[in-house]
Structure 1
Amino acid sequence: MNIIIINRWQDDFADYQGVVDHKLNDVVYITNNSGSKYLDSVVVPYEHYVVDKLEDINKLMEIVAKIVREKGKVDRLLALSEFDIRNAGVLRSKFNIPGMNEQTAKNFTDKISMKEALKNSSIRYPKYTKDPNDIITGKLKFPIVQKPREGAASEGVHIIDDLASFRKLLDRNPAGYDYEEFVSGNIYHVDGIKHDTELQFMKISRYINTCYEYEKFKTPLGSLLIKNPLLYEKIYKMTLKVLSTLGMETGVFHLEFILHDNEPVFLEVGARQGGGEIVPMLKQIYGVDLVLALLKSQMLEDISMLTGQENGNYGGFLLFPEPVRTPVKVKNKTIFGGKLKTLVYEITPSIGQVLDGNGGYYFNAGRFLFVGPSEGVKEDLDYVLKNYEVAYE
């Protein structure tokens, strides 16, 4: 087959070489400068195009058109990052490549399209508008949540309490936003695999703090696995309906909802694995690798065997953000070592390392994964949350 891989990750987060036989197939990588670093470790045959910005759909069109002229067709196009799913859908539709098409990709990346697709369903979601005048005229009441129509990790999100604040923000961000009513309650994430007409793997976790607070106020972000049969049944039905309505046949998902008055309110969903330590947590507990599942699903391979095994363990993770003011050099940090029974790993910056403010969820001030009995996980997670410190200069 002729296979294109769009990659922006510099590490081996995705095992392209393990799934795609580079000797049997003609493999072409399209990367940005960061994604090119991954190819330093690739020793099998491949072709490579580098672009300044993977968001540049015109440049991608030009490259794929050239590949089609040379090879006759493209059989598979792989794009695992949230930021490449939409463009991958456009390219598949334009060049008749099997897999998620343009409209379905838009349903999973554009927050307005997402809710419009659910409009005639029984799914409850926040009232919303894409028209700023609906805010000014009072059709949508404060507080409201302003989100970029596309994006992840709460980047560019604002919670706005009054009209004066909204007008100020509108001057800076004139277009391209989804405006939603603010819904109170704990936020949860749902991660798993859809195969045909069922969810063959699905797990629910409750956020500790929020992605918004991590991005905006530099508050630690965490998550705890929840095993509640009644909630599971309710969320299973909602999640399956959302994914089916938006057009996912088989694939990996990361969905978020708010539990408001004990009822789920759908927030958004991605057609990919969740961020933070979600992937390693579920791999540790259930033996299911969501990145591998996504890669195989985009190769249109059978993933029905990826169902996981229950071993009674719970899990959780913590992410510590970089400080408000950067760049900074790490002077000192707390080390927990083997003191905590459920702490699987602590990935922290080294002494002398410079944090530049662009670390996101991965190159931050600390990542901690916990696996074990329910109470043990909660106690150890709370202990790290209260006691982990980093000193900077």
Structure 2
Amino acid sequence: MNVVIINNLARFPGTARWDFHLVCYEEFLDHEAHDVSYIVNRRGRSGIMAPPGSHSVYELGRLDDIAAYRPILSRIASEHGPIDRLIVFSESLQDLGAQLREEFHIPGKWTAENRLGRDKLLMKARVSAAGLRTPRYTAITAGQVDDAIAFAASAGYPLILKPTNGQSSEGVRRIEDELQLRASVSALPAHETWDLEEFIDGTLLHIDGLVDPSGNVTLVVPSRYLNTCLDFTFGAPLGAITLEPGTVLHATVSRFSARCIEAIGLKACPFHLELFYTAEGELVFLEVGARVGGADVPSVIHRATGINLFCEWVNMSMGQVATLRAQQRSIGAWLMFPRPDGLPLRVRSVTRFDDRLRSLYRQLVPDEGQIIEHEDGYCSMQSGRFLFDSTSADEVESDVAHVLNAFSITTTEP
């Protein structure tokens, strides 16, 4: 096959840095059996580990300019024949990848199918049509202030206003009253439709897994968030602990999640689903991404189940044999503390937990004296990142709570 990979995921071999170590294109694809071409930015070039001479590389200054891809894909097609697959892992590039597949007639998710994992209004409509609970919601534009006020009269405050295809809580706003709602809706970008929805008071869960090419959910690993992605943008730590297998909650969440995924119609991909679990015991669908979860989610799942979500995504895309089912063998957790404000800053002191906690098997904190720079994305150098795993849920809960309470970092001007 003639395979093109768009990559912006970094690798840091031989260093203490964490990276996308589960993204091993050289292991996922036989570079001798296939014609493999990479389109990367500077960061993504570091993620290419295949032997020299087994592939081609095209580097772009930025990966969000679709016009820059067209001459490259045309050249690849002229040299190797029609492109058979276009592989894109990054959520920020899913829309671009779908459009390029459609333009170049490449098999895989085209624009309409891609929307199922990107358009928050569409996915909620499908889940709601299946009789499953979602927040009350409405589509809104800058010119619909009166419609937004009318919606608020029925849904109540606070409300949540967010882009229909956003990620990592970018652009998400909590609206407390009519004055704030009028101002926020009036200020929306022209010609954009946004999602205005009911605020749900409950525990936020993320559920990760796989759905096979026929649309059957085959792997489900539910987790309970520690704070939210929106909290993280305001300086709170972020993490999650997997739910304990065999419990009523684990089973209930797994069934509800599978029904949501199948109602939306996702196929042949991993998924990262978010739900609310209310104090009344109700599950409420929030949104889903047809991709691998961010931060350290894939590492936790790999440790607990043995499944590499990235690998199985490629296997399904390529029509290769895929491992789509596995038992959850342990309780896992991930935890990260955001970078301080005012970067760049030099680290004066930072808490380490070497050999002090039984379930803590990996940690990454900056060294004393190290300068912390700004980097995009959760999977970058933060103030601290921690991974936990144990067969004991109580042990993981206790160790995570200890790190939350004991971690600190102090910094100074560089």
Match of 2:150 among 138, 142, 148: 138
* Counterpart code for 1:295: V
Match of 1:389 among 388, 392, 408: 408
- 1:40–1:319 distance in 2 versus 1, CA, 3 Å: same
Query: Partners in 1 of 2:104 and 2:9 — Cα distance?
Result: 25
Query: Partners in 1 of 2:4 and 2:58 — Cα distance?
Result: 10
Q: Is the 8 A contact 2:221 2:328 kept in 1?
A: no
Percent of matched pairs sharing the same residue: 31
Match of 2:270 among 232, 248, 252: 252
Say yes or no: does 1:240 pair with 2:258.
Answer: yes
Q: Is the 8 A contact 1:204 1:225 kept in 2?
A: yes
Match of 1:150 among 157, 160, 165: 165
Query: Partners in 2 of 1:169 and 1:310 — Cα distance?
Result: 43
Cα drift, residue 93 of structure 1: 2.3
Cα drift, residue 197 of structure 1: 4.7
- State which drifts further: 231-240 or 278-287: 231-240
Q: Is the 8 A contact 1:3 1:75 kept in 2?
A: yes
Query: Partners in 1 of 2:70 and 2:262 — Cα distance?
Result: 29
Where in structure 2 are the equivalents of 1:37-186 lying within 5 Å? 37-39=46-48, 42-132=51-141, 133=144, 136-140=148-152, 141-170=156-185, 172-174=187-189, 175-186=192-203
Cα drift, residue 170 of structure 1: 4.0
Say yes or no: does 1:334 pair with 2:351.
Answer: yes
Q: Is the 8 A contact 1:323 1:357 kept in 2?
A: no
Cα drift, residue 205 of structure 1: 0.6
Alignment deviations for residues 180-231 of structure 1 (CA, whole Å, 9 cap, x no partner): 111110000111112235322211110011111001x210012111125433
1:2 — aligned with what?
2
Query: Partners in 1 of 2:182 and 2:340 — Cα distance?
Result: 29
**Structure 1: which 5+ residue stretches go unaligned?**
none
- 1:2–1:269 distance in 2 versus 1, CA, 3 Å: same
* Counterpart code for 1:10: A
**Structure 2: which 5+ residue stretches go unaligned?**
12-19
Alignment deviations for residues 258-304 of structure 1 (CA, whole Å, 9 cap, x no partner): 0122111111111111122211112122211112222222223221x
* Counterpart code for 2:395: G
2:308 — aligned with what?
289
Q: Is the 8 A contact 1:239 1:255 kept in 2?
A: yes
Where in structure 2 are the equivalents of 1:14-25 lying within 5 Å? 14-25=23-34
Alignment deviations for residues 157-199 of structure 1 (CA, whole Å, 9 cap, x no partner): 1111112223443455434432211111000011111223532
Alignment deviations for residues 29-60 of structure 1 (CA, whole Å, 9 cap, x no partner): 11122212323775352122222332222322
Q: Is the 8 A contact 2:24 2:49 kept in 1?
A: no
Query: Partners in 1 of 2:69 and 2:206 — Cα distance?
Result: 32
- 1:352–1:277 distance in 2 versus 1, CA, 3 Å: same
* Counterpart code for 1:153: S
Q: Is the 8 A contact 1:346 1:367 kept in 2?
A: yes
RMSD: 2.1
- State which drifts further: 28-37 or 73-82: 28-37
- State which drifts further: 198-207 or 350-359: 350-359
Query: Partners in 2 of 1:211 and 1:104 — Cα distance?
Result: 26
1:308 — aligned with what?
326
Query: Partners in 1 of 2:129 and 2:350 — Cα distance?
Result: 52
Cα drift, residue 126 of structure 1: 1.3
Query: Partners in 1 of 2:32 and 2:273 — Cα distance?
Result: 36
Query: Partners in 2 of 1:55 and 1:21 — Cα distance?
Result: 28
Cα drift, residue 245 of structure 1: 3.2
Q: Is the 8 A contact 1:110 1:149 kept in 2?
A: yes
* Counterpart code for 2:208: D
Tell me the secondary structure at the aligned position of residue 270 of structure 2. strand
- 1:53–1:317 distance in 2 versus 1, CA, 3 Å: same
Alignment deviations for residues 60-79 of structure 1 (CA, whole Å, 9 cap, x no partner): 23432333334331111100
Say yes or no: does 1:317 pair with 2:334.
Answer: yes
- 1:50–1:392 distance in 2 versus 1, CA, 3 Å: same
Q: Is the 8 A contact 1:22 1:44 kept in 2?
A: no
* Counterpart code for 1:28: S
- 1:44–1:255 distance in 2 versus 1, CA, 3 Å: farther
Query: Partners in 1 of 2:268 and 2:215 — Cα distance?
Result: 8
* Counterpart code for 2:240: S
